[in-house]
Chain A
Amino acid sequence: MLLTLDILTTAAILFIVSIGLLAIFGVLKIINFAHGAWLTVGAYCAVVTAKLGLNPWAALPLAFAVGAALGGLAEHFIIRPLYRRPLDAILATWGLGIVVGQLVTLAFGRDVQLTPNLYAGTVEILGVDYSAYRLVAFGIALAIGTLFALIIERTRLGLSARAVIMNETLARSLGIDTGRVRLVVFMIGAGFAGLAGVLLTPLTSVDPNMGVSWLIGAFMLVMVADASYLALAAACLVFGAAQVLISTFVSPILGSIAIAVLAALVLRISPKGFSRA
């Protein structure tokens, strides 16, 4: 039972962390290696919220807004010149991540920051005591997934984004402003990354480099999911389960590389990953 809960909540957290990266990769075909920095920025929004004495949940809208605003700037000045050089875009966004990390360090210092817990305590569920926050996180992941699905499936922006993913030339010839679609999607992706940063604060220590440790896992999940959020959810479940099971029964260290190794193997066998299934 504990194992099942661990798997579900781990998958939920992976999904929260990866969804912003997926949105950007799907539409822009660009891998945003500054994703880790956006997670960090989001977490520091929680730090700021706490310092201002606000309700910890107020950090969520703040982080989304800050992430989206920074994302807009990044898209305009860094991503746009590099659409035709996708490998260089990985490097430039990585460099941006370094810059953001150092700015955070200059502003807040390099020490670990304490943030108030968003939702403390444990609850008893089916006979085991379990961290209430991890359960809340599971619910939030469902909510974020639903919100994302609604944006993609129901809004005009989501439709335009899908059109750009499927056939950008046709989208452009029909009069869709593909540049604007890219900008907005990048802002939303960065905003979601900011949200994820806040949601990570109860689970991990907050320091200027916290985002990097999440980046590779998110990156590999997105590679496997290609551009599909349903495939991402599936990948989070499968690889999250592998991580939990290997950590529990084999070794935590092997568990920590399970996602990267398994995803690499899946991609070797099927370059489109889970999205084909």
Chain B
Amino acid sequence: MLETLPVTERAAAAPGRRLSRAAPFVVAALAALALWIAPLFLDTFAVNVLTRSMIYAVLAVTVDLLWGFAGILTFGQAAFFGIGAYATAMILAAYGATPLGIAAAVAAALVAPALLGLAVGWLSFYHRSTPLYASVISLVVPIVVVQLIYSGGEWTGSSSGLVGFDVLPFEIEGYFRLAALFLIVVTLAAWILVRADAGRALVALRDNEARCAYLGLNPRRLQIRLTAALAGIAGLAGFLFANASGVVAPENAGFLFGTELVIWVALGGRGTLLGPVLGTIAIDYLAANLSGDLPFLWQLLLGTAFVAIIILLPGGLADLVGRLWRALPVGRREPAPPRLVARVAGTEATGTGIPILKVENLAKAYGALTVLEGIDLEIRAGELVSLVGPNGAGKTTLMRCLSDGTEPFKGAIAVGGTPITGLTPNRIVGLGVGRKFQVASVFESLSVADCLRLARAPHDGLNPVGQAETLGLPQAALDVLRMTGLDRLLTRPTRLLSHGQKQALELAMVVALEPRLILLDEPTAGLTKAERTTIGTVLKALTAGGRIAAVLVEHDLDFVREISSRIVVLHQGRLVLDGTVEDVVGSELVRTIYSGGAHG
């Protein structure tokens, strides 16, 4: 057990934590109360407009979750909203506002967009898909939906839309309150999600999708589920909109409306939830009031403000407010770090005789250029193998083949007896392979503790509603943190760490995966002497237990000499030497290779 907080300090932190956890609920309750009585003081016009604005604000929350948090710029929420609204209008028109009709409408408004969301997600996200492609698809979806509405004839009312269908038996105040409650519930749920451990996975996806995959998370599945779920929420907003307005039109599903949502979120402040909510309500309400008198000027001002905000203040108005707030001399509490707990590593026997890694006759070429040829390699538990060789020998390519089965290569690679050909990185992680990249690959917007918690997600899961108070890590990962001082920086955002600290954090994350095989690409590049020694000690201790093997690519041969149990020399894509440190050090062949004499 390793406890980082003295007992007294922890006791003091606990009530504060409980208080801050209750705060969102208190704020939400107060907001609900205020909005409940607000219609008593507002005129009919304002009540009508604000009802619409609050429904749009729900959409803004979904856009913010997708774009601001998960990094998926989407214009497609309008389409899901429109489908929800049309499904509602069509069902209510056919069956009337009977309890059954309403239930059917709610169900359809939720399920139809969610199903389409699944399809869109499947189309948008695949191994090696780009963020731009997802945005392209999100542009196409509303265009297609609108054209389908146009071609729907009497069913959809074509270009004039649907009007005059039965709606819920509410006065306008009733709709206002319903919209307000819906908005508050959705915003609160989103708030809780993004602050919970599971919400960190969204930000992690935005920051570094590759790292997510190499932690064994399935980025694609997360993105598809998020898209489908938020499509459903947008559909429900459409249900409410259809009832409150009594009209649905093709514009409600259109690409232009999709861009407006993005503009509101950008102006309010992406990634802040409250910014987009308040921004949407303010802009839509102002638009309704001003656009009557100054229709073009209003659009002109909005467009100009949008361009200026994107260029000068990407965080939107919420960022500006946040900066002012932080400038105030108000006492602020550091978030309490989670308590570090040692987790007993699984003790399954590995002495089955099957090598952890077996490479047979591996070859890889980029076009006509052969990078690797005839590589045979077997690595067993307890080995610490260094891969050395001059520039262009194929070391990094070999590492890539070992950790990503979708790389086109010839020959066979098996991890613990399982062939990896065709497997995506996250599935290879599932076989027990952890990879540390050459350039430290961590999540820049997250804290040290959050990065480590994501690394434990495949083992321990992520809390979907709150933040766990403890962080359980294998002893080896705790050792890395303690030796590098990261255990005292758990709440620090990763982007503020030094280069060496980032490298150490990434190593701790990989170790936290409890891999059987660790691949490290130049783990000491750019580190100080002391940091290199630390990493060397950690690697030796890890493999000394006899359950884990490590393969590292390294240029610092002093380091290699110190820690390796075996050295493999690559030269021009071939494995030219494989032996103990003594075999390789002082080998005439190696001296020749490094003096350049073996070229050509």
Touch A–B, Cβ below 8 Å = yes
List chain A positions with a Cβ less than 8 A from chain B: 31, 78, 81-82, 85-88, 90-92, 94-99, 101-103, 105-106, 110, 212, 216, 219-220, 223, 251, 253-254, 256-257, 260-261, 264, 267-268, 271
CB neighbours of B417 from chain A (8 A): none
With A99-B303, A102-B303, A220-B140 known as contacts, the answer to whether A257 contacts B296 (CB < 8 A) is no
CA distance A154 to B131 in the complex (A): 35
| Nearest-Cβ distance from residue A236 to partner chain B, whole angstroms | 18
Whether A102 contacts B255 by the Cβ 8 Å rule is: no
Partner of B139, one of A91, A97, A216: A216
13 sample A-B contacts, Cβ–Cβ < 8 Å, listed by A number: A82-B310, A87-B132, A87-B135, A98-B306, A99-B307, A101-B303, A102-B303, A220-B136, A251-B151, A254-B151, A264-B136, A271-B128, A271-B133
CB neighbours of A99 from chain B (8 A): 300, 303-304, 307
CB neighbours of B296 from chain A (8 A): 102, 105-106, 110
CB neighbours of B263 from chain A (8 A): 91, 95
Whether B151 contacts A253 by the Cβ 8 Å rule is: yes
Whether A85 contacts B314 by the Cβ 8 Å rule is: yes
Closest to B158 in A: A253
Whether A95 contacts B300 by the Cβ 8 Å rule is: no
B147 at the interface (CB under 8 A from A): yes
Closest to A74 in B: B307
Partner of A257, one of B144, B306, B307, B311: B144
| Nearest-Cβ distance from residue B377 to partner chain A, whole angstroms | 32
CA distance A113 to B88 in the complex (A): 39
With A99-B307, A102-B300, A257-B144 known as contacts, the answer to whether A88 contacts B314 (CB < 8 A) is yes
Whether B262 contacts A91 by the Cβ 8 Å rule is: yes
B172 at the interface (CB under 8 A from A): no
8 A Cβ contacts from B84-101 to A: none
| Nearest-Cβ distance from residue A247 to partner chain B, whole angstroms | 12
CB neighbours of A254 from chain B (8 A): 147, 151
Compute the total of residue contacts between A and B using a CB distance below 8 Å.
99
B35 at the interface (CB under 8 A from A): no
CB neighbours of B65 from chain A (8 A): none
Tell me whether chain A's interface is mostly helix, strand or loop, or mixed.
helix
| Nearest-Cβ distance from residue B161 to partner chain A, whole angstroms | 16
Partner of A94, one of B126, B130, B131, B259: B259
CA distance A17 to B262 in the complex (A): 26
B302 at the interface (CB under 8 A from A): yes
CB neighbours of B128 from chain A (8 A): 271
B30 at the interface (CB under 8 A from A): no
Whether B306 contacts A95 by the Cβ 8 Å rule is: yes
Partner of B133, one of A95, A110, A257, A267: A267
Whether B255 contacts A106 by the Cβ 8 Å rule is: no
Partner of B297, one of A91, A101, A106: A106
Whether A87 contacts B140 by the Cβ 8 Å rule is: no
List chain B positions with a Cβ less than 8 A from chain A: 73, 123, 126, 128-133, 135-137, 139-140, 143-144, 147, 150-151, 255-256, 259, 262-263, 266, 296-297, 299-300, 302-304, 306-307, 310-311, 314
Closest to A208 in B: B296
| Nearest-Cβ distance from residue B434 to partner chain A, whole angstroms | 29
CB neighbours of B306 from chain A (8 A): 91-92, 95, 98
Closest to A110 in B: B296
CA distance A264 to B123 in the complex (A): 9
Whether B297 contacts A95 by the Cβ 8 Å rule is: no
Whether B140 contacts A260 by the Cβ 8 Å rule is: yes
Q: Which 7 A-B pairs have the closest CB atoms?
A: A98-B303, A102-B300, A95-B307, A95-B306, A99-B303, A253-B151, A92-B310
Name 18 extra pairs, CB < 8 A, besides A92-B306, A253-B151, A260-B144: A31-B132, A81-B311, A86-B132, A90-B135, A97-B303, A98-B299, A98-B302, A98-B303, A101-B299, A102-B299, A106-B300, A212-B256, A219-B136, A219-B139, A261-B140, A268-B133, A271-B128, A271-B130
CA distance A251 to B147 in the complex (A): 11
With A92-B311, A106-B296, A260-B140 known as contacts, the answer to whether A268 contacts B123 (CB < 8 A) is yes
Whether A253 contacts B150 by the Cβ 8 Å rule is: yes
Partner of B140, one of A82, A94, A264: A264
CA distance A216 to B297 in the complex (A): 26
CB neighbours of A31 from chain B (8 A): 132
Partner of B147, one of A81, A94, A97, A253: A253
Whether B143 contacts A257 by the Cβ 8 Å rule is: yes
| Nearest-Cβ distance from residue B454 to partner chain A, whole angstroms | 24
With A216-B139, A264-B136 known as contacts, the answer to whether A91 contacts B300 (CB < 8 A) is no
